[in-house]
Chains A and B, each alone.
Chain A
């Protein structure tokens, strides 16, 4: 047979490409949900990356332009020029030699003086004795002559004659004789050898003492470092005074005022100008915002008044940490300001002798910076130790370990990392939802796929077609998300940063990193997850598709169910049929619960600490004294009821992550505030390590229990203390160690009966303010929770709503799949006469139960994951707060997700209601 009249046509464009758009339009609700979720997440994360990168780059640039310090140290007094020069050399002083030479020189004088004195005494005694012998003999021979002449001479006469002659002889000859004898003695060999022998003894003793003390210090700071190279630095004075800050509306906390900064740690003025006269001050912008201070306001620093002329961000205070050991910064009640040098003189009080330093040879990375800092500290310790002036190092903080400098960039960095992780988790969840959707579509279109494959469509063509919709959605979402990120979201994130940190003015830096992380990675995730799922199914033969036989593992028989009622068995069947969807639902709910654990748990934890801080404080008022004696030398006392003396000092506990400050308390025997075992000190005798109580926070943070040994050390001295944990004291507001005051005084070599201050549940009001160094009240302990609450409290509420929306979308997408998959069955049971409510109960109750049970498990998992996450955060900070989730918090989490489900259940009910009866009678297409 011959073909007739064939009219060749044109090969059309791939009709499946056209179908992709039709698919997207057909499933617009689903795609819109996924698109919207991706846009918001990508937008926010992209905004975070852009804001973050811009801010971090700005901060990096400001290190140079504002001459930010490489670190600072505090001395107990002003350093003189030779000491500054010695420190600037960055070289280690040869402590042993210098101390030895000094001790030898001192000893030489001492020894010679002692030997000389002994010799002189000896010579004097000898001369006196010689004169006495000579005088006696002369008097006796004279009296014997008189006796012989018959003169009566009594013994009394003899003695008085001797005394008289001795006195005369002494007056006439003693000095010259002594001088002559001394001259002779000092020039004798015996004298020289006595001096030299004594000196040798002294030197031996000196060498022994120096070597013992030095070895301990050298061990601790690794001073015996043959490869040590000097780290030359430039040192700048950065003196400041701490005072109370008062504005017209009352106290607004404390302020640290610096004198004029010209060389180092400069500042970025955000509004106004720098102070020009002695009555002007520039302060930190962040604190000004929080305390509602504006330019032009009058600010009282202690009792001295200044006019605020500018608001700025200091290079060394991107985060307002009052002390480097504080658990959290405090931009609410702590302020930093700067006045002119004359303005500084107006301030009362003793300054902090801070010195900032800059390395001459700038370190290129953090490792080199740490190495520089270690070397410089050796130089600083040794040079200060050998200094002629009696100066001590009170603090040494390299920039990399300075929270005031590092916390903001670190936190922004971790925000970025966390944002990235959330984005990837959410993209993965959405990609899986896509994959499940596509799995359902493949199942639904099985025969069409079979026909197309049988007609000659390749696997690759089918794969590209089914991959197209998810890719188009994720690419579109990435583009829109990035546009949002670079515009709106960036501002939102920057506002969040400005709300927490003292940051300089920034300029937006366009970064490819944000693009890659928020576009390429989500696209790849979507691509890979969908690729795997689709390829796995497309591997089946066209015949399998034509026969609608896509199950890879064929179940020989349906699972046999007990003789339950029909409805119950039906629901179990629905569950068994949709296990992959329900697994996705569980993963989605776990993801939401993790977010909710943060959104609900964080404010819960803060509230918990705020509410229970009064219970946590062992005494409501603790007053630290500058001195325990008043100007008249009398011990300072208080009549406050229940007041007890206590002692306090700070030591360091070193762990792998950080050196944590530990407060050591010495408390009265039988203290009513901190109840210690009455035979605690008796216990000490039985073992070599002193038994102490540790606070609950200390125990929880470092997993310490009774019987463990803790090693605490002095910060910049060579002393180490090894104590045995006797018990844990229920105190969660700080990392602390407790012992009796008597023990405290022995351990720290203090005089018997010494103490540092008073504690009482009543406010202590009868001690002169001049003698009060510091007063600790509950407000000091709520600093952390207040600051955290301020920084992110309000965002957490929004975050809770976001979680509900995310939960609703995930449940919506997955239940939609379940209902779509069962549309024909739903249609069929409708034909059989089931009511919409009965049908809804079959499908919705099953999903409802899965949501219900998933919630419990997901809540537990979310809580556990969040606790680990929280622990990681707290381990990098000083102090310890356990992650708290109250029962009401769990109930809230549960309800939020369940409300999301109820909303979706209503939508699903309408969806079931709208399934047409005719569907069951149609051909399977």
Chain B
């Protein structure tokens, strides 16, 4: 397996409901993502992008098709190994930050660090995240952007191979969104994690290495971005 085939998806299908209410959400997807790539899954609501992300993250399962991550076939893993897979290789960032309300910033990040055998240095990470001065604050004392930074910190502190981001800027304003995107960009550069980000924001495609556009459960476009711009340069 080469770094180009770090993540390989073949004929992936997923549907919900049965009989008349059956809805095919993913109708046979095929794509690959290279190691260290910043990949954006783009599409309107209901296009199946979040379902795809959940399946990649091992918290949902496909009806058929194959997923290989770093050569490992996801379908071969039972629930226990899937948990270990998430523990060792994945970092998750959600639209809602889902922080633990009575743990402070540093402790929230520690919840991620605890899962890794070789986590990043937390203080250094806090500085990179711009949260060092806020490290003793509780989540409800932070702004939305700061909370999302904590959430990103929690995801990357364990130094995951893949960072899965589900609409990380969905609940944020323009400026804060750009800050967060910049941070993810920095993380991708600095730590070399493969980033797969789900968004419906067309503008974000410009900062990605790889753009996969979904609609009605099928891939409409699967392109590599040759003229990539930085998050700071994004406008929408």
Write the residues of chain A forming the contact surface with B, with a CB cutoff of 8 angstroms.
Answer: 1-16, 18-19, 22-23, 26, 445, 447-448, 450-459, 541-543, 546, 922-925
| Chain B: interface residue total (CB-CB under 8 A) | 59
A5 & B190 in contact (Cβ 8 Å cutoff)? yes
B96 & A18 in contact (Cβ 8 Å cutoff)? no
Write the residues of chain B forming the contact surface with A, with a CB cutoff of 8 angstroms.
Answer: 35-37, 54, 57, 59-60, 80, 83-88, 90-92, 94, 96-103, 107-108, 110-125, 139-140, 144, 147, 154-155, 157-159, 171, 188-192
15 other contacts beyond A8-B121, A543-B54, with CB at 8 A cut-off?
A1-B188, A2-B36, A7-B121, A9-B121, A9-B125, A11-B118, A12-B114, A26-B102, A447-B96, A452-B111, A455-B111, A455-B112, A458-B80, A546-B98, A925-B139
Looking at the complex, which one of A9, A19, A26, A459 makes contact with B120 (CB distance below 8 Å)?
A9
Q: B87, B111, B118, B171 — which one has the most chain A CB atoms within 10 A of its CB?
A: B111
- Chain B: which residue is nearest A452 at the CB level? B111
- Chain B: which residue is nearest A9 at the CB level? B121
What is the minimal beta-carbon distance from B45 to any residue of chain A, in angstroms? Answer: 15
Residues of B within 8 A of A925 (CB): 97-101, 139-140
Looking at the complex, which one of A15, A453, A458, A543 makes contact with B107 (CB distance below 8 Å)?
A15
The complex places the Cα of A11 from the Cα of B118 at a distance, in Å, of 7
B188 & A9 in contact (Cβ 8 Å cutoff)? no
The complex places the Cα of A741 from the Cα of B60 at a distance, in Å, of 92
Looking at the complex, which one of B85, B98, B121 makes contact with A451 (CB distance below 8 Å)?
B98
What is the minimal beta-carbon distance from B159 to any residue of chain A, in angstroms? Answer: 7
What is the minimal beta-carbon distance from A535 to any residue of chain B, in angstroms? Answer: 14
CB within 8 Å for A456 and B86 given contacts A26-B102, A448-B98, A543-B60? yes
What is the minimal beta-carbon distance from A837 to any residue of chain B, in angstroms? Answer: 29
CB within 8 Å for A19 and B107 given contacts A1-B188, A1-B189, A3-B190? yes
What number of A-B contacts does a CB cutoff of 8 Å give? 139
Residues of B within 8 A of A3 (CB): 190-192
Q: Which A-B residue pairs are the 8 nearest by beta carbons?
A: A456-B87, A1-B36, A3-B192, A9-B121, A451-B98, A15-B110, A456-B86, A7-B121
The complex places the Cα of A543 from the Cα of B14 at a distance, in Å, of 15
Q: A9, A453, A542, A543 — which one has the most chain B CB atoms within 10 A of its CB?
A: A9
A450 & B107 in contact (Cβ 8 Å cutoff)? no
Residues of B within 8 A of A924 (CB): 96
The complex places the Cα of A454 from the Cα of B96 at a distance, in Å, of 14
Looking at the complex, which one of A1, A448, A541 makes contact with B192 (CB distance below 8 Å)?
A1
Looking at the complex, which one of A5, A13, A14, A923 makes contact with B96 (CB distance below 8 Å)?
A923
CB within 8 Å for A15 and B114 given contacts A455-B87, A455-B91, A458-B83? yes
A22 & B102 in contact (Cβ 8 Å cutoff)? yes
Q: B80, B103, B123, B171 — which one has the most chain A CB atoms within 10 A of its CB?
A: B103
B99 & A456 in contact (Cβ 8 Å cutoff)? no
- Chain A: which residue is nearest B80 at the CB level? A458
Pick 14 A–B contacts, CB within 8 A, sort by A: A4-B190, A4-B191, A9-B122, A9-B157, A16-B114, A19-B103, A22-B103, A450-B98, A451-B94, A459-B83, A543-B60, A546-B59, A925-B99, A925-B140
A12 & B59 in contact (Cβ 8 Å cutoff)? no
What is the minimal beta-carbon distance from B63 to any residue of chain A, in angstroms? Answer: 15
The complex places the Cα of A923 from the Cα of B83 at a distance, in Å, of 27
B84 & A456 in contact (Cβ 8 Å cutoff)? yes
B119 & A541 in contact (Cβ 8 Å cutoff)? no
A12 & B113 in contact (Cβ 8 Å cutoff)? yes
What is the minimal beta-carbon distance from B10 to any residue of chain A, in angstroms? Answer: 22
B113 & A922 in contact (Cβ 8 Å cutoff)? no
- Chain A: which residue is nearest B157 at the CB level? A9
The complex places the Cα of A316 from the Cα of B189 at a distance, in Å, of 91
Residues of B within 8 A of A14 (CB): 114
A455 & B154 in contact (Cβ 8 Å cutoff)? yes
What is the minimal beta-carbon distance from A344 to any residue of chain B, in angstroms? Answer: 79
The complex places the Cα of A650 from the Cα of B225 at a distance, in Å, of 110
What is the minimal beta-carbon distance from B129 to any residue of chain A, in angstroms? Answer: 14
Residues of B within 8 A of A546 (CB): 59, 94, 98
CB within 8 Å for A456 and B83 given contacts A19-B107, A542-B59? yes
Residues of B within 8 A of A457 (CB): 83, 87, 111, 115
Q: A4, A6, A541, A924 — which one has the most chain B CB atoms within 10 A of its CB?
A: A6
The complex places the Cα of A257 from the Cα of B149 at a distance, in Å, of 90
B103 & A15 in contact (Cβ 8 Å cutoff)? yes
